[in-house]
């Protein structure tokens, strides 16, 4: 099973077992403890913060759209975007997430959901979207795929459009050591399980975290004919993240370093 098939398997499993928590993984809301109203309100809060921040930078976004929510899940951010834009698309790799997005959809005339399990975004045309937003999505995709998706997002962005995306840049060194120890422990348990020494039951579905450095992102954006307008460190990769987006003055002392890029293209 290749990485993209494994990604789809994991998110299909999560969509069928605990879909709202899989999207916004507040530890206190695990095991289907998210209230749907609170969940979608968190999306409105996040989109409001992002658009207000863009306005503070003097960046205007075409409200006529269409706009895109990449990795939409059940439409937490897509529906929030519909309060600001005339036509919003959400795209996701999981059929169950798309089904749930349509069930939750209160803006049927303004929100459209598209399934895409390809390595590209060929379901969309060049220069189609005036605004594209993606948060807590690319961090769960292997870099060899997330880099291609970023190139595709730039391809489908209109000239002078705005792409805002979040991705994990790095893992603080002490946490890297802990992560390596944890992986080693899992391997030991699996060998022991194979030998019949002890029973080990790994989690059925995983939300793996992947880092892509700023240097790599800058080269990719430049090579794709786009440019970075703004770059901020955010709290988006914190385990307790629940949609209350914050811009940080410095990188956290532990855990993952999350960065939000604001990008445009001039042709």
- The per-residue DSSP string of 230-241 comes to EEEEESTTSTT-
Residue 78 belongs to some domain of the structure: yes
Beta-strand pair 226-234/67-70: unpaired
Could you say which DSSP state residue 139 is in? G
Q: Write down the pLDDT at residue 14.
A: 95
What digits encode the pLDDT tens for the residues 8-43? 999 999 999 999 999 998 899 999 999 999 999 999
Q: Write down the pLDDT at residue 204.
A: 75
Residue with tokens 């975007």: 81
Residue 72 belongs to some domain of the structure: yes
Q: What's the total number of domains in the chain?
A: 1
Residue 224 belongs to some domain of the structure: yes
Residue 236 belongs to some domain of the structure: yes
Q: What are phi and psi of 18, to 5 degrees?
A: -155, 65
Q: Write down the pLDDT at residue 56.
A: 97
Residue 196 belongs to some domain of the structure: no
Q: Write down the pLDDT at residue 196.
A: 58
Residue 241 belongs to some domain of the structure: yes
Q: How far apart are CA 135 and CA 242, in angstroms?
A: 12
98: how many CB neighbours lie within 10 A of its CB?
22
User: Residue 47: helix, strand or coil by DSSP?
Assistant: helix
Mean pLDDT, consecutive 10-residue stretches, the chain (267 aa), reads 85 96 92 96 97 96 93 97 96 98 91 96 97 97 97 97 97 56 45 51 74 98 97 94 93 94 94
Residue 87 belongs to some domain of the structure: yes
Residue with tokens 């890029």: 261
Q: What is the CATH number of the domain that holds 99?
A: 3.40.50.150
Residue 254 belongs to some domain of the structure: yes
Range of the domain at 242: 3-172+209-265
Q: Write down the pLDDT at residue 157.
A: 98
Predicted TM-score of the model (pTM): 0.89
Q: Write down the pLDDT at residue 184.
A: 43
15: how many CB neighbours lie within 10 A of its CB?
24
């Amino acid at each position: 099973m290749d990485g993209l098939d494994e990604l789809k398997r994991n998110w299909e499993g999560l969509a069928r077992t605990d879909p709202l928590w899989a999207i916004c993984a507040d530890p206190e809301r695990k095991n289907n403890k998210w209230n749907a109203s609170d969940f979608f309100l968190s999306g409105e809060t996040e989109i409001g913060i992002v658009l207000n921040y863009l306005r503070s930078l003097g960046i205007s976004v075409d409200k006529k759209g269409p706009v895109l929510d990449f990795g939409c899940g059940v439409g937490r951010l897509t529906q929030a975007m519909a309060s600001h834009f005339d036509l919003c698309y959400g795209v996701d790799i999981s059929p169950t997430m798309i089904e749930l997005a349509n069930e939750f959809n209160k803006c049927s005339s303004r929100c459209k959901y598209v399934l895409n399990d390809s390595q590209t975004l060929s379901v969309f045309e060049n220069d189609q979207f005036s605004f594209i937003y993606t948060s807590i999505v690319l961090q769960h995709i292997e870099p060899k795929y997330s880099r291609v998706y970023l190139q595709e997002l730039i391809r489908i962005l209109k000239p002078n459009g705005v792409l805002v995306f979040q991705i994990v840049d790095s893992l603080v060194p002490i946490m890297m050591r802990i992560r390596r120890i944890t992986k080693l422990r899992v391997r030991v348990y699996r060998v022991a399980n194979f030998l019949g020494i002890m029973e080990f039951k790994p989690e059925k579905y995983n939300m793996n975290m992947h880092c892509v450095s700023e240097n790599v992102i800058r080269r990719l954006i430049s090579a794709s004919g786009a440019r970075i307008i703004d770059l901020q460190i955010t709290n988006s990769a914190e385990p307790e993240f629940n949609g209350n987006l914050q811009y940080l003055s410095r990188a956290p002392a532990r855990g993952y370093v999350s960065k939000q890029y604001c990008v445009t293209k001039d042709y």
